[in-house]
């Protein structure tokens, strides 16, 4: 059997050995055992993660912002039901992590059939809330050192997570904000509107390689109203080493180079 995800008249084909789980609720959740990527989570027909390359994505989503902050004690993750982002956040030994996920079924299914959180969601420092991230942030009285948005491709429930209203509310309650910002090559319109709507004082886009995301090229947006975007290799390296973080993809050198954008991407956002 084959799973095919299409984007703009092309796509990615993955050989499936077995369907491990399927449920239609808030989202259509499918978990497959694949031949070359291990277990794979698909939501509404879109690949969210595979065991083989999820660390590429989660490490690049989490570590740049966490290392730009000198002492990230309190972290908010919006979305991220598979637990991969929280797993990476815990490597920085924060005091408190709040994860706000709209679909409880994703969390249950991922814990039972994939397990990439490796126990992170059971950690006593982690609080998991099942509600809409947009509503949570709107009425939030707390402040966070870092907010990480690990949402699905824009769809009816996640569309709000790329709105200027959501970004404005986040800006008020955090030092650093980071979100995945889609594929500049396969989804240039979403990429451009995320950049445009994120009206923070400081912001920057960086890139990463995720083989099972559209055309393999993925982007992230980091922003802050209060802090600078830190691209000093010595600072990042010192924090990375002091925190004794182990990674598969991320290194401080990769961090710095990820912010060098090809001309065509600069043109999309200028
Ligand atoms: N890494 C993935 C990607 O870029 O393809 C994202 C994976 S993660 C499973 C995305 C999660 O965001 C889903 O579990 C989904 O339920 C959650 N989500 C979508 N919209 C949301 C919202 N408005 N509030 C909170 N969580 C949301």
Domain segments of the chain as ranges: 2-50, 54-269
| The two three-digit tokens of residue 164, written as one number | 């200027």
Does the predicted interface ipTM exceed a cut of 0.90? yes
DSSP secondary structure string for all residues of 131-187: S-HHHHHHT----EEEEEEEPPSS-TTTGGGGSHHHHHHHHHTEEEEEEE---TTT-
Which residue's CA is the closest to the ligand 1 atom numbered 16?
103
Cα of 158 to ligand 1 centre, how many Å?
A: 7
**CA 238 / ligand 1 centre spacing (Å):** 32
DSSP assignment letter at 231: -
Is 151 labelled as part of a ligand binding site?
Answer: no
pLDDT at position 155 is 85
Q: In 3-state terms, what secondary structure has residue 65? A: helix
Residue 105: CA count within 13 A, CB half-sphere = 14
Distance of CA 158 to the CA centre of its chain: 13
Look at ligand 1, atom 1, and give the residue with the nearest C-alpha: 48
pLDDT for position 192: 97
Query: Among this protein's residues, is 145 annotated catalytic?
Result: no
Q: What is the pLDDT of residue 247?
A: 98
Question: Which CATH entry fits the domain spanning 54-269: 3.30.465.10, 3.40.50.150, 3.90.1300.10, 3.30.70.141?
Answer: 3.40.50.150
pLDDT at position 8, please?
Answer: 85
Q: How many CA atoms lie within 13 A of 257 on its CB side?
A: 8
Q: Name the pairing type of β-strands 74-79 and 96-101.
A: parallel
Spatial strand order in the sheet of 202-209: 126-130, 96-101, 74-79, 144-150, 174-180, 217-224, 202-209
Active-site pick, 103, 150, 169, 175: 150
User: Could you name the CATH architecture of 2-50?
Assistant: Roll (2.30)
pTM of the model: 0.98
Which residues of the chain register pLDDT less than 70?
none
Which residues are paired to 206 by β-bridges?
Answer: 220
pLDDT digits over 231-258, tens only? 999 999 999 999 999 999 999 999 999 9
């Amino acid at each position: 059997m084959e799973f095919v995800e299409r984007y703009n008249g092309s796509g990615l084909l993955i050989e499936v050995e077995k369907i491990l789980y399927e449920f239609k609720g808030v989202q259509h959740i499918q978990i497959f055992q694949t031949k070359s990527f291990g277990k794979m989570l698909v939501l509404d027909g879109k690949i969210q993660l595979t065991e083989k390359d999820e660390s590429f994505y989660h490490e690049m989503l989490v570590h740049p912002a966490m290392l730009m902050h000198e002492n990230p004690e309190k972290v908010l993750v919006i979305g991220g039901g598979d637990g991969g982002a929280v797993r990476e956040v815990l490597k920085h030994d924060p005091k408190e992590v709040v994860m706000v996920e709209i679909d409880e079924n994703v969390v249950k299914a991922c814990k039972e059939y994939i397990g990439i959180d490796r126990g992170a969601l059971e950690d006593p420092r982690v609080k998991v809330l099942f509600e809409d991230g947009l509503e949570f942030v709107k009425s939030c009285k707390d402040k966070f050192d870092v907010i990480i948005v690990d949402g699905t491709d824009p769809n009816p429930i996640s569309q709000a997570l790329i709105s200027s209203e959501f970004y404005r509310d986040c800006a008020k309650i955090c030092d650093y904000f980071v979100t995945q910002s889609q594929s500049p090559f396969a989804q240039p319109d979403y990429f451009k509107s995320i950049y445009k709507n994120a009206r923070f004082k400081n912001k920057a886009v960086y890139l990463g390689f995720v083989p099972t995301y559209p055309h393999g090229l993925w982007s992230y947006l980091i922003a802050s109203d209060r802090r600078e975007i830190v691209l000093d290799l010595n600072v990042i390296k010192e924090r990375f080493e002091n925190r004794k973080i182990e990674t598969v993809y991320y290194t401080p050198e990769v961090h710095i180079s990820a912010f060098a954008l090809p001309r065509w991407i600069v043109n999309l956002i200028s």
